[in-house]
Homo-oligomer: A and B are copies of this chain.
């Protein structure tokens, strides 16, 4: 037996916890702002980036999507006017996804919901100290 039943249970708990938090988070965002989770994450990443812009490839990695997946997602966000595409001067192959003012505004509306949900469903139940433990454990898994 490679794994004890308790070890297996821990892995199952991890899956369940992540899905549970993400599901509730997305439900809150959809209800209050009609915004799916990946959409929010794209907006948030762009807002943090210098010039509110990111190369498609980099953005895809940050939000855990394939390049093609991100292409479609940006298509939708662009259609809604939250994001625009701009050419990259230094590399004619490259494109920037750029956060528009409307996108920024939409993000700022949704941010309290997003961050509140993470507090409520994740950080809150843990408490400050355990969040640090959690961070340490995740770092051990090689996650940046």
Which residues of A approach B to under 8 Å, CB–CB? 2-3, 6-11, 13-22, 64, 111-112, 115-116, 118-119, 121-123, 125-127, 130-131, 133-135, 137-144
Minimum CB–CB distance for A121 against chain B, Å: 8
> Which one of B6, B17, B140 contacts A141 once the chains associate, using CB atoms below 8 Å?
B17
| Contact status A115-B16, CB under 8 Å | no
Contacts of A16 in B (CB 8 A): 64, 143-144
A125/B138 contact (C-beta < 8 A), A15-B22, A18-B15, A118-B8 known: no
- Set of chain B residues within 8 Å of A2, measured between Cβ atoms: 111-112, 115-116, 119
Tell me the complex Cα distance, A111–B13, Å: 19
Query: Chain A: interface secondary structure?
Result: helix
Could you tell me if A115 and B18 are in contact, using CB atoms closer than 8 angstroms?
no
Chain B residue at smallest Cβ distance from A118 = B11
Chain B residues, Cβ within 8 Å of A133: 133, 137
Q: Please tell me if the beta carbons of B141 and A122 are within 8 angstroms of each other in the complex.
A: yes
- Asked if residues A138 and B13 are in contact (CB atoms below 8 Å), the reply is yes
A121 to B140, CA, bound (A): 11
